[in-house]
Structure 1
Amino acid sequence: MHNKEQVSSLQIAFMVMLFEIGSTPLFLLGGKAKQDSWLAMCVGSLAGLLLLLLLLWIQEHSLGLDLIGILRFNFGATAGSVVGWIYCLYFAYESMRNVRDLGELTSLTLLQTTPMSITMLVFVLIALYAIWKGTAVLFRLPEVLLPMLLFFYGLLVLLLGIMGSIDFRRLTPVFEGGLRPILDAALPEIVSFPFGQMLVFLMLWSLWEKPGVPVKNTISAYIAISIFLIFMNALNVAVLGPTVAGISQLPFLKTVRTLSNLQFVERLDILVTIQLFVGLLIKMMIFYFCAVKGISGLTGKPLKWWVFPVGAVIYGTSFVERDYTQHIAIGLGPSLKIDPVFQIAVPLLLAVSILLRSRFKRTPS
C-alpha cells in the first residue's frame, strides 16, 4: 500500500467522533421512553460498545484486510463476494439517505426556494471530489471540522445555560415506566442508528499507518462521543420537555430557537444547520467512500473508476422517496429492521468463522 493512503490514529479517532455525531443530535432518539430517552441512549451506546469490541476483534484477526477481504477470506471467494456486493449496496443506500437528509434540511431551513435537486447535487459533488482526491484528504477533514463543531455545540449549550432555558427537572421522574420502555426504545433502534453504524470502520481500520488495529483510539473516541450524544439527548428534553421534544421534527433546532429573545444574536438556527450539514456530509462521504472502496476491491479496478458511477447512483436514488415524511418513515421503519442483519448478524457469523478456523488450525492432524 502506498504511504499516502495511510491515516493516523488521531485521524481515525476524530473520524469516529464526527461520524457518530452525524445527524444524531437532529432527532430525539429513544423518544418513546419520554423523559428517560437519555437512559435509552445509555443502553444503546453500551450495546453498541459490545458490538464495537466484536468488530475490533474481527479486525485484529484479519490484519490488513478490509470488510470485503474479510468476507471473502471467511466465507470463500464466491459467497464472500456476493455478501460483499450486498454490503456495497447497503453503504450506497445509507449514503443516499444522508444525501436526502441534507436536501430536506437545506430546503427546510436555509434555501426554501432553491430546488432540492440542485442542493443535493452540490453535496454529492463535494463528496465525489473529496473521495477522488483520496483517503488522505477524506481523513484530514475531521481534523479541521470536529474542533469547530464541538466549539459551536459548546457555545450553544453555554447560551442555553445563561438564558436559563435548561431545566433538568424535566428529566424526572426517572424510570417512570420501569426498565421496559427504555429497553424497547433502545433495542434495536438506537443500536442500529447511530452506534451500530460503526460497522463501516471494518472498511477503514486497515488504512491505519501502523500494523494492527487502533483499538485504544477507537474506543476512547467512541466513549467520548457517546457521552456527548447522551448529554445532547438529555439537553433537548431539559429545554423542551419530553412531549414537545418527542413530537418535534427537528428538536435541537427547536431547542436553539428558544434563544430567540437574545438581543445580540440573530438567527442562531443557521449555526445549528451548519453543524448538522457538517455531520451529515461526513457521514454521507464515508458511506459513499466505503461503497466505492468495496466495489474497487471486488472488481480489482482502481478506486477512481467507481467514484462517478456510484455517485450517480446515490444521487439518482435520493429522489425515490416521495417526500420527507416517507423518507423518515422508511428510515425509522424498514431500514432499522434490516440494519441488524448487516451490523450484528454478519459480524457474528464472521466471528464464529474466525473461531472455527483457529480451532482447526490448532488441532494436530
Structure 2
Amino acid sequence: MEKAKVSVIQLFAMMLIYELGSALVVSYGVTAKKDAWLAILLGMCGGIALFFIYYFLFRQYPNLPLTGYARKIFGKYLGWVIGLLYTVYFMYDASRNLRDFGDLLLSSTLTETPLLALNILMVLTICYVLYLGIEVLGRTAEVLMVILICLGITGNLLVFLSGNVNLHHLQPFLEEGWKPILTTAFPLTTLFPFGEMIAFTMLLPYLNRPELSKKVWVSALISSGLILSYTTSLDIAVLGVEQVERATFPLLSTIGKVNLFEFIQRLDALVVFTFLITMFFKISILFYVSVIGMVDLFQLKNHQSMLLPSGVILLILSMVIASDFAEHIEEGLKTVMFPLHIPFMLIIPLLMLFITIIRNLFNKVS
C-alpha cells in the first residue's frame, strides 16, 4: 500500500463528493413518484446498515484493505479470487461512471465533441492526480468541497428567487402508498449510491485517526442522503413529477428555468461544473481502489506503474459498455443490480461478517 495518510476532513470531503456523484443530476429515486425524497432517506438508512457490516470488518483488520482481509477470512486462494473479483468490480463501476460523465457533457454542453475525446481527457487528469498520490486527492477534495457548497447555495437561491418552486407538486404525501417507496428504497437507493461506499473499505487504512472512521463515514452518509433527498424534492417542486421522470438530467432542467430580470438565465454551467467535480472524485476513487487492489493482490512495489495500463482498460470499458445512453441507464438500473451490486455490496460482506464472528467465538471457547 502507498505510504500516505489522509486526515479526517479530507476523508469526509472525499466521501461526501463521491456519494453525490451522478445521483445529484439524474432522475434519482423517481420511481417512487412524489415520495422520491422519502425513498432516498430510507435508502440512506439501508446504507447506514451496510456501513456497520463494513465497519465491523475494518475493526477486525484495521491495517488491511478489503482485498487483504478477504484472504484472511476466506483463505489464501479463495480470498485471492474474491479480492480479484472486487478489483474487477471497482473497475467496472468506475467505467460506468466515466460513461455517465461523458454522456452528460455530450447532451448538455459539448454536443459536437466525440465521447472518446471527453473520456480520454478525464482519464488522463485522473491518472495524473493519482500518480501524485491519495494525499493530493484528499487535499483537492477539501478545496473543491468548499466550491461545491458555494455553487449549491448560489443555485438554490436563484431557483427560489425566480419563483419556480411549487410545493403542491410534492402533494399528496403517499399518493401511491408505501409499495413504490419501499421497492425503490430497497435495493435501488440503498445500493446506489450508499452501497457504493464499499470502495472506502480499501481506503480506511490510510486514515490518520482510524478511531474516528465511524463518525466520518456516518456523517458523510447522512449529509449526502439529506442533500440528495432535498435535490430530488426541488426538482419535483420545480418541474413536476412527470417531467422529472422523462428528463435524463432533471437538475439541468431545474436550473434552466431560472430567469431573473430577463438577465440572469442559462445557468446550466453551474450544474455541469458541479457534475464535473463530483464525477471526477467518484471515478478517481473507484479507479484508485481498483489499482491498489491489483497492487495488493500481485504484490507490486507501487501503484504508479499500474495507472496508465489500467487507465487504458478503464477507457475501453467505458466505450464498449453500452451502444447508447439509454442502454447504459437500462443496464445500470436493471441488468447489473442483482448479479453484481447485491453480491458485492451485501452478500459477500455478510458472509465475511458471519465467518469472522464464528471464528472469534471458536477462538474464545478454545
What amino acid is aligned across from residue 47 of structure 2 in structure 1?
G
> TM-score when scaled to structure 1?
0.96
Give 1:315 shift.
0.4
Q: After TM superposition, give the deviation of residue 213 of structure 1 in Å.
A: 5.4
Matches within 5 A, 1:82-121: 82-121=81-120
User: Match of 1:173?
Assistant: 172
Matches within 5 A, 1:173-322: 173-212=172-211, 214-260=213-259, 262-301=261-300, 302-320=302-320, 321-322=322-323
Please tell me the residue identity of whatever aligns with 2:77: T
Q: Deviations over 1:253-286 (max 9, x none)?
A: 0111111455332430011111111111110000
Is the contact between residue 60 and residue 212 of structure 1 (CA under 8 Å) also seen in structure 2? no
Shift of 1:205: 0.6
Contact 1:59 1:213 (8 Å CA) reproduced? no
> 1:334: which partner in 2?
335
Q: Which residue of 2 aligns with 1:351?
A: 353
SS at match of 1:296: helix
The aligned counterpart of 1:128 is 127
Distance apart, 1:191 and its partner CA: 1.1
* Shift of residue 200, structure 1, vs aligned partner: 0.6
Q: Deviations over 1:47-68 (max 9, x none)?
A: 1111112211211111111100
Distance 1:276 1:210 in 2: 30
Aligned-residue CA RMSD (Å): 1.4
Q: For residues 235 and 276 of structure 2, what CA distance do their matches in structure 1 show? A: 19
User: Residues 124-165 of structure 1, C-alpha deviation per residue, up to 9 Å, x if partnerless?
Assistant: 000111111111111112101111112111111111111111
- 1:221 deviates by 2.0
SS, match of residue 64 in structure 1: coil
**1:277-312, CA deviations, whole angstroms, 9 ceiling, x for partnerless residues?**
111111000010010000000000021221111111
Structure 1 residue ranges without an equivalent (≥5): none
1:118 Cα deviation (Å)?
A: 0.9
For 2:76, the equivalent position in structure 1 comes to 77
Moved more, 289-298 or 227-236: 227-236
Distance 2:280 2:97 in 1: 7
Q: Indicate conservation of the 8 Å contact 2:30/2:36, yes or no.
A: yes
- 1:323 is aligned to 324
CA distance in 2, matches of 1:119, 1:13: 28
TM-score if structure 2 supplies the norm length? 0.96
What is the deviation of 1:211?
4.6
Identical aligned residues as a percent: 31
Distance in 2 (alpha carbons) for counterparts of 1:81 and 1:313: 21
Q: 1:60-117: per-residue Cα shift (whole Å, max 9, x none)?
A: 1111111001101100110011011111111111111111111111211221112111
8 Å Cα contact 1:60/1:213 also seen in 2:
no
Residue 63 of structure 2 corresponds to which residue in structure 1? Answer: 64
Provide the C-alpha distance between the structure 2 equivalents of 1:212 and 1:310, rounded to a whole number of angstroms. 33
SS of residue in 2 equivalent to 1:209: coil
Aligned length: 363
CA-to-aligned-CA distance 1:225-260 (integer Å, 9 cap, x gap): 211111111111111111111111111101111114
Contact 2:39–2:182 (CA<8 Å) still a contact in 1?
A: yes
The alpha-carbon deviation at position 201 of structure 1 amounts to 0.9
Equivalent residue letter for 1:314: L
